[in-house]
């Protein structure tokens, strides 16, 4: 059964009034009695529409600085009574409680107050009590009551009431209830996570209000959805919608580029850097980053930490790529890129990112702190007879940043603030090293005078020996193996420098 009901009485109490006027006027035109409180009551009066104060209904004024306004049986009885139960009907008649068929209510801006840096007192006062109770009560009784907990639904209800002569169907009320329970759940999650910062309980709660359906997931037979606000993160200047795989690569690109302060360009493929260089100009950074591995760069995700000018855009435009990210672009550069409509051009906005990471696993979720640690020359301990030069220490720092953002097992070669080659995602560190050597040779790079960084310790001295024989002059590793001395002795034998950091950067 559709179980249509006609709205006779409505309770309206909202923090935000924008968009409310047309709906309120329609309700008044359809003969609905309006009950309201505080600012909303005055808003309705200013429209020259009849409205009854909730305190006139309950016989109690708003008290405790507005903390208690609607918490009364004459309000909640009117919402929660079941129209098909004779006992409920008898009781509301006995206590002269009007049946409230529509509740329009929103919640105090708790998240906005936290985000805006409000004081603890301000934040606590933005924990809504009456509003959240009204939402739950009306949503629970969706069989007889319409609940609007978001201004986004004003126009929808208005259309329904216009087309259905002031009535709603059961399916419509149930749909509004679902949205309302989402509103209350999201609100409570935000409050809990605010309180759960210090000495946190071991529980996992996340709630994201916005979502974007993707063309598909990792593969065409998988469905995919992004939960979050991409428009807050990026301004899209050109191109198609980002895919699941694009988003994974973009996330890796943003994390990597944030390690560098000098003009830098990185090229990523399957979340790993296949080209990266820091130079005095962004154009030179692009040229040297591309030279690292122009084959893998085809179809990659590109990111820069400086404005893309026309000269740089002209060079980038020679390559087929999926996504380009930069903090800004010259207008002429954007026009050049727009010649190919599917290429995604993103301007990155200044958005604070979470320091937590989580993903589903087995029958649950794993969560961890982001790896926000990076060891510079000051944290590098010399362990060999030969010490690294100032340039080698600088290159080791550069290499360590790349290692941190590359799939394990990984080996990275760097020379003069430029990625030479890397071996990524191998089951053996020796295989990762050999892969990196082959890549460097394939693109004409000499490893003489280059440095090497490893994401984890060397259990055997073989990597040190192979690297030294290839021309590497300095090595960085976290240390911590029971056989560290073997690797150090091999480095001394080969006459190369080695430093340890004490910090491992596995990336699975």
How would DSSP label each residue in 204-218? -------EEE-S-SS
What whole-number distance in Å separates Cα of residue 72 and Cα of residue 93? Answer: 16
Q: Are 403 and 410 in contact (CB under 8 A)?
A: yes
What whole-number distance in Å separates Cα of residue 344 and Cα of residue 322? Answer: 6
**What CA dihedral angle connects 118, 120, 123 and 124, to 10 degrees?**
-170
From the candidates 17, 140, 151, 236, give the one annotated as an active-site residue: 140
Which residue's entry shows tokens 């005055």? 42
What angle, rounded to 10 degrees, do the helices at 462-470 and 484-494 form?
20
Could you say which DSSP state residue 378 is in?
G
What whole-number distance in Å separates Cα of residue 127 and Cα of residue 115? Answer: 14
Phi, psi torsion values for 331, nearest 5 degrees: -55, -35
Q: Are 74 and 57 in contact (CB under 8 A)?
A: yes
Cβ-count burial of 368 within 10 angstroms (0-12 exposed, 13-18 middle, 19+ buried)? Answer: exposed
Q: Are 502 and 478 in contact (CB under 8 A)?
A: yes
- The reply to whether 270 belongs to the active site is yes
Residue partners of 356: CB distance under 8 A and separation at least 6: 367, 368, 369, 370
What whole-number distance in Å separates Cα of residue 408 and Cα of residue 426? Answer: 7
From the candidates 6, 179, 236, 270, give the one annotated as an active-site residue: 270
Tokens of 472: 């590497």
Tokens of 14: 């909202």
Could you say which DSSP state residue 342 is in?
T
How would DSSP label each residue in 124-163? HHTS-SHHHHHHHHHHHTTTT-EEE--GGGHHHHHHHHHH
Which residue's entry shows tokens 């593969």? 219
**Taking Cα atoms as reference points, which of 498, 502, 482 lies closest to residue 490?**
498
Residue partners of 159: CB distance under 8 A and separation at least 6: none
What angle, rounded to 10 degrees, do the helices at 130-140 and 170-195 form?
140
- The reply to whether 140 belongs to the active site is yes
CA atoms within 13 A on the CB side of 270: 5
The residues facing 236 across adjacent strands are 346
Catalytic residues: 140, 270
């Amino acid at each position: 059964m559709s179980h249509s009901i006609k709205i006779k009485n409505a309770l309206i109490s909202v923090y935000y009034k924008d968009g409310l006027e047309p709906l309120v006027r329609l309700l008044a035109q359809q003969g609905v009695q309006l009950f309201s409180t505080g600012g909303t009551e005055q808003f309705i009066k200013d429209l020259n529409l009849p409205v009854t104060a909730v305190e006139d209904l309950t016989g109690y004024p708003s008290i405790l600085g507005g903390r208690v306004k609607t918490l009364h049986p004459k309000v909640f009885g009117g919402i929660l009574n079941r129209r098909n139960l004779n006992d409920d009907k008898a009781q509301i008649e006995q206590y002269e409680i009007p049946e409230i068929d529509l509740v329009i209510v929103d919640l105090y801006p708790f998240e906005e107050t936290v985000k805006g840096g409000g004081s603890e007192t301000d934040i606590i006062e933005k924990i809504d009590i009456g509003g959240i109770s009204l939402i739950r009560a009306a949503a629970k009784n969706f069989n007889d009551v319409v609940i609007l907990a978001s201004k986004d639904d004003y126009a929808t209800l208005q259309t329904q009431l216009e087309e259905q002569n002031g009535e709603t169907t059961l399916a419509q009320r149930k749909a509004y209830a679902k949205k309302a329970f989402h509103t209350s759940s999201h609100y409570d999650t935000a409050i809990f996570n605010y309180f759960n910062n210090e000495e946190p309980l071991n529980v996992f709660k996340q709630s994201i209000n916005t979502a974007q359906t993707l063309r598909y997931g990792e593969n065409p037979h998988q469905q995919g959805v992004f939960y979050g606000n991409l428009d807050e993160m990026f301004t899209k200047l050109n191109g198609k919608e980002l895919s699941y795989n694009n988003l994974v690569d973009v996330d890796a690109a943003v994390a990597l580029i944030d390690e560098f302060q000098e003009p830098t360009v990185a090229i990523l493929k399957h979340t790993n850097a296949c080209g990266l260089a820091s130079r005095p100009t962004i154009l030179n950074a692009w040229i040297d980053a591309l030279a690292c591995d122009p084959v893998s760069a085809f179809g990659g995700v590109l990111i820069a930490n400086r404005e893309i000018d026309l000269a740089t855009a002209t060079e980038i435009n020679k390559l087929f790529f999926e996504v380009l990210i930069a903090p800004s672009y010259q207008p002429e550069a954007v026009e050049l890129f727009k010649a190919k409509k599917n290429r995604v051009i993103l301007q990155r906005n200044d958005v604070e990112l979470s320091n937590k990471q989580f993903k589903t696993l087995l029958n649950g979720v794993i969560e961890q702190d982001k790896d926000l640690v990076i060891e510079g020359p000051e944290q590098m301990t010399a362990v060999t007879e030969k010490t690294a030069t100032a340039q080698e220490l600088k290159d080791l720092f550069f290499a360590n940043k790349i290692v941190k953002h590359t799939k394990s097992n990984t080996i990275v070669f760097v020379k003069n603030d430029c990625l030479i080659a890397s071996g990524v995602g191998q089951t053996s560190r020796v295989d990762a090293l050999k892969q990196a050597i082959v890549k460097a040779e394939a693109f004409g790079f000499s490893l003489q005078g280059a440095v090497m960084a490893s994401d984890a310790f060397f259990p055997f001295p073989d990597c040190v020996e192979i690297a030294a024989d290839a021309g590497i002059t300095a090595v960085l590793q976290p240390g911590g193996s029971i056989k560290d001395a073997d690797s150090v002795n091999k480095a001394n034998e080969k006459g190369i420098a080695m430093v340890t950091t004490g910090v491992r950067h596995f990336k699975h």
